[in-house]
Amino acid sequence: MTVTKARCLILACGNTLRSDDGVGPWLASWAEKQFCGDARVRVLSSQQWTLELVEEVARAESVLFIDCSADSEPGGVRLVPVEAKADMQGVATHHLGASELITVGRELYGSLPRAALLLTVGAASMELGEEFSAAVKGALPDACRQIEETVTRFLAGAAPPEAP
């Protein structure tokens, strides 16, 4: 399998059957339509981030990870830099976080994306269901705006934004 080298990789995760946990796949779907036709942008979405995605991340020039957050305030949209860890201790095989993905990529492929950011949306509910909470529904326009701005910056080769 040939891994497509993306100038900007958007990598989302979440479970669409777990209410707000599905916000990552929803935003990935939005991004796919938004950047449709732009070969520089590659959008991937999965329930979990696993080892098989490491090469995609390592080969990309810049990566925007998208996930929901159980720790943030419901509906809060955050954009934070992602940095590689010092080593791979404690990394699990069933699921990886954004930082772990780029760490394993560095160890296995010897390369890191030039820029990596994680956009999260605070979840209010992760119970069984296919509807977002009111808080997450209200956050979608802001999340989409931040994705668009980030991708534009990535493609322009600008430095990643400072963490808020």
Partner 1 sequence: MSQTITIDPVTRLEGHGKITIYLDEKGEVENAQFHVTQVRGFEKFCEGRPFYEMPSLTARICGICPVSHLLASAKACEAIMSVRIPYTAAQLRRMLNLAQMVQSHALSFFHLSSPDLLLGMESDPVKRNIFGVAAARPDLGLAGIGLRRFGQHIIELLGTKRIHTGWVVPGGVTEPLSSAHRDEILAMLPEAYANLGKALTAYKQIADTFKPEIEVFANFPTNYLGLINEDESIEFNDGALRLIDPKGAIIEDGITATRFTEVIGEAVENYSYTKFVYYKPLGYPEGSYRVGPLARLNIVKSMGTPKADKELAEFKQISAGPVESSFHYHHARLVEAMYGIEKIEQILNDPQILDKHVRATAGVNRLEGAGQIEAPRGTLNHHYKVDENGKITWASLVVATGHNNNAMNRGVLQAARRYVKDGKFSEGALNRVEAVIRTFDPCLSCSTHAFGQMPLAMTLMSADGKVVDLVVR
For partner 1, the binding residues (CB under 8 A) are: 1-2, 46-47, 51-52, 54-55, 88-91, 93-94, 104, 107-109
Whichever of 76 and 109 has its CB closer to partner 1, that residue is 109
How many whole angstroms separate alpha carbon 157 and alpha carbon 151? 10
- Least distance (Å) from partner 1 to the CB of residue 52? 5
- Least distance (Å) from partner 1 to the CB of residue 155? 27
- Least distance (Å) from partner 1 to the CB of residue 102? 13
Beta-bridge partner residues of 77? 121
How many whole angstroms separate alpha carbon 43 and alpha carbon 31? 7
Whichever of 2 and 164 has its CB closer to partner 1, that residue is 2
> How do 77-81 and 115-122 pair as beta strands?
antiparallel
| Residue 111 · residue 1 · CB < 8 Å | no
Whichever of 39 and 89 has its CB closer to partner 1, that residue is 89
Whichever of 91 and 140 has its CB closer to partner 1, that residue is 91
Amino acid at the residue 149: E
- Least distance (Å) from partner 1 to the CB of residue 4? 12
Whichever of 32 and 55 has its CB closer to partner 1, that residue is 55
- Least distance (Å) from partner 1 to the CB of residue 51? 5
114, 88, 126, 148 alpha-carbon torsion, rounded to 10°:
0
Radius of gyration of the chain (CA): 15
Nearest to 27 by CA among 39, 44, 41: 44
